A and B are shown apart, each in its own frame.
Chain A
Amino acid sequence: MKILAYLVWAAIAALGAFCLGGIAINRAEPINSLWLVVAAACTYAVGFRFYAKFIAARVMMLNDKRATPAERLRDGLDYEPTNKWILFGHHFAAIAGPGPLVGPVLAAQFGYLPGTLWIIIGAVLGGAVQDFVILFASMRRDGKSLGQIAREEVGTVGGFTALVTVLLIMIILLAVIALVVVNALKGSPWGTFTIAATMPIALWMGIYLRWIRPGKVLECSLMGVALVILSIFGGQWVSESATWAPWFTFGAMGLSIAVVIYGYFASALPVWLFLAPRDYLCTFIKLGVVLALAVGILFVRPELQLPAFTRFTDGTGPIFAGKIFPFCFITIACGAVSGFHALISSGTTPKMIARESHAYPVGYGAMLMESFVAIMAMIAACMLQPGVYFAVNSPAGVVGATPAAAVATISNWGFPVTAADMATLAKNVGEQTLFYRTGGAPSLALGMAAIFARGGTSMLGFWYHFAIMFEALFILTIIAAGTRVGRFMLVDLTAQFSPAAARKLTGIVGINIVSVVVCAAWGYFLIQGVRDPLGGINSLWPLFGISNQLLASVALCVATTILLKMHGPKFMWITCVPLVWLVAACFTAGWQKIFAPEPNLGFLAHATQLEQLMRTHPSATTATLIFNDRLDAVVTGIFLILVATILIDSLRTWMGILRGTRESRIYESPFVPTALQPEEV
């Protein structure tokens, strides 16, 4: 039996290696997406069965006889032993945001190969390891947060720095995902109506749950989903109506202001009325769409039209500037390694684990699932004709302000496309134009629509807008929740300096003031992105990627400290290898974004170029753009300094432990034997 198991695993490993080799070597024919799916699935299986199991057994020494916080601190609410597969789904739903969908689509400008390899290898050796170790650490510490663990294990500097880093990341994250929505909805009455309709639907759900049928969340969500689908058909009717279409047609600036106002109200309204029902709706649609996309890809098995490598590996990409190293590795964060996951792994999940061994499928396995979502997004983007992909994703400032100029530029790059092709595609999906829709969401929606419509055109418009609705719905939910969380963080931060002032900020006036401050902060970056002649994504997405990966570096520093305290230097490499890689990628990217001499890459070089323009053509807009470039350079610099601080603090701790001059105390909760019966698990 054991020999058979060895043979099966050897066959899986060989198949994975064969498929990885196949996609790496192929340069000529379009490759079928099944190669990517099989390569990813086999690598995940081997990583899960051998690497993660090794970490679980030898490094963490997970012990099912030890009571988890869910058992010891059981309160029926936050702390509750939960079935491991239910918790797996719960954790996956919590970590899966727009990042793994948008990042791979943007990174596809390098071709399918660099992003795909990073998603698969990064997740197995980096992202899943980070999630797993932090989940384990939190589980052994009564479900404490990353910041609390950092304070205890590394030092107070680390804890405070983690708080500031997370707040800054949150602001950049909200701005960049809001920009994705704005670019997807500008000039689109169909999309705008559908998204606008989700707001009264959420309010109605809130009222239904509060007063009509309290507690019937599934029933209410089912009705919500039906109403949302109806609203997509309603959007088509609106877009075809000469009377109504203008009411729902907005430019980028108008939409940006609307999204900021939405963010304020959504975060300030009672949670039960708007945010919670919207979140229920969004979670169920998200899981349904991810499942449908996986099934769709397996049925349709689309061919990838983008080559393995494009000419933009040289750093001259139209979507964002910069070479594969480091920019591919910061553009794809959530599908490979995401610092944000460390916040989730040290949030709700560790309080719900029934047995220590469950951390293995939940922490490591859920990240592999997220990575697979990123692979699906990569497939959806790369199945588009390359010319179409670049026409949709390139800003006017790079390819030219008219469709004729854009198709000429893109065709000259070697990716033929015509204005007529683009017009036909736009007509088929019910849009006026698909040019300059930067941000990744529209091209992902085109790919998803093609999969769901199975190559036909009759339902392409519906599926395109279904995909846009799906992306915008959960981005806007994150904006509402993120603004609210940003408010709490700002109050926490104020409390570090003045507890009395922080208390004042928790009253009604204080809440409104802090909400306005948070909305103004991310709203500023959003409007900066809209005004950016290079499309906004060029500057904001790398900023978000750098910050998210820097947060991952913080988490990996904490994880390394814990492994060092547990075993000495023996197993440090497990978290040090991804840490070194991320630090190298983030610091190189950060340095290049600030100081690179190319104006499309370096913030300061771009500011200098604009300054020269100011001398001949002075204008207030150019002055603002110069200020924005310098602000982005400062923000990037702050991120780098914050993480350098944590790195130095961690290095000091590690050196102290290795030399024996520092106490190697582990702040784990004491061992208590479990009393949970097998049927309770």
Chain B
Amino acid sequence: MIALRRFGALVLGLLRELADESAYERHLAAHGRAHSAKEWRHFTEHRLRAKYARAKCC
């Protein structure tokens, strides 16, 4: 049961990383800010600009 829960947490962690949700949480923690629509927009502007300046694999 514990192993299953750990596996579930790992999968959720991966999905959250792929969805940039974990990066957003880190951004809030690093800057000591609370979640808001404005903060999310600020975060995505930086994050997505960098993300889509790199080649995507074939």
Contact = CB atoms under 8 A, between A and B. Distances in A.
Interface residues of B, number: 37
Nearest to B30: A76
A51 B5 CA distance: 33
Nearest to A339: B58
B38 to A, nearest CB: 9
Interface string B22-58: 0110110111000111001100111111111111111
Nearest to B11: A89
Interface residues of A, number: 56
A166 B10 contact: no
Interface stretch (A91-99, A244-252, A519-527): A91-99
Contact of A215 (B21, B45, B49, B55): B21
Contact of B14 (A85, A343, A482): A85
A601 interface: no
B56 A97 contact: yes
A548 B58 CA distance: 9
A83 B10 contact: yes
A33 interface: no
Nearest to A347: B54
Contacts of A284: 15, 18
A80 B24 CA distance: 12
A142 interface: no
Interface in A339-362: 340-341, 343-344, 347-348
Given A75-B30, A76-B27, A215-B40, A343 B19 contact: no
A552 to B, nearest CB: 12
Contact of B58 (A85, A215, A340, A488): A340
A80 B26 contact: yes
B45 A95 contact: no
A218 B57 contact: no
A76 B29 contact: yes
B57 A97 contact: yes
A485 interface: yes
B8 interface: no
Given A77-B23, A77-B27, A276-B52, A94 B57 contact: yes
A215 B18 contact: no
Contacts of B24: 215
Contacts of B49: 271
B58 A93 contact: no
Nearest to A78: B50
Judged by DSSP, the binding face of B is helix
Q: Taking each of A80, A96, A333, A334, which has the highest tally of chain B beta carbons within 10 Å of its own beta carbon?
A: A80
A210 B49 CA distance: 15
A272 B48 contact: yes
A interface, over-half SS = helix
B5 to A, nearest CB: 15
B21 A218 contact: yes
A484 interface: yes
A347 B57 CA distance: 11
Contact of A276 (B21, B27, B44): B44
A2 B40 CA distance: 52
B10 A485 contact: no
B23 A217 contact: no
A96 B37 CA distance: 32
Contact of B48 (A173, A221, A276): A276
A214 interface: yes
A275 B54 contact: no
A338 B47 CA distance: 27
Given A86-B10, A214-B41, A283 B18 contact: yes
A89 B14 contact: yes
Contacts of A221: 19
B53 A488 contact: yes
Contact of B52 (A98, A177, A209, A275): A275
Interface string A88-132: 011001111111000000000000000000000000000000000
Contact of B13 (A86, A170, A482): A86
A99 B57 CA distance: 9
A75 B48 CA distance: 16
Contact of A340 (B31, B51, B57): B57
Contacts of B45: 272
Contacts of A86: 10, 13-14, 17
Given A85-B14, A89-B14, A272-B45, A217 B58 contact: no
A96 B57 contact: yes
Interface in A44-90: 75-78, 80, 82-83, 85-86, 89-90
Given A85-B10, A276-B44, A80 B23 contact: yes
B18 A271 contact: no
Contacts of B10: 83, 85-86
A611 to B, nearest CB: 34
B46 A77 contact: yes
A478 interface: yes
A334 B14 contact: no
Given A80-B23, A86-B13, A485 B58 contact: no
Contacts of A89: 14, 17-18
Nearest to A87: B17
B6 to A, nearest CB: 10
Contacts of A76: 23, 26-27, 29-31
Contact of A343 (B18, B52, B55): B55
Contact of A485 (B15, B30, B44, B56): B56
Contacts of A82: 17
Interface string A198-240: 0000000000011100110110010000000000000000000
A550 interface: no
A522 to B, nearest CB: 13
Given A77-B46, A283-B18, A484 B58 contact: no
Interface in A238-290: 271-272, 275-276, 280, 283-284, 287
Given A89-B17, A482-B56, 20 more contacts: A76-B23, A76-B30, A77-B27, A77-B46, A77-B47, A83-B10, A83-B13, A95-B57, A99-B57, A170-B55, A210-B41, A215-B40, A271-B51, A272-B44, A276-B48, A284-B15, A334-B57, A338-B57, A343-B57, A485-B54
Interface of B: 10, 13-21, 23-24, 26-27, 29-31, 35-37, 40-41, 44-58
**10 A-B pairs closest in CB distance:** A76-B30, A217-B19, A214-B40, A76-B26, A89-B14, A99-B58, A214-B37, A271-B48, A481-B56, A215-B40
19 contacts: A76-B26, A77-B23, A77-B30, A77-B50, A85-B10, A85-B14, A97-B57, A99-B57, A166-B55, A173-B58, A217-B20, A221-B19, A272-B48, A276-B52, A334-B58, A340-B57, A341-B57, A484-B52, A485-B54
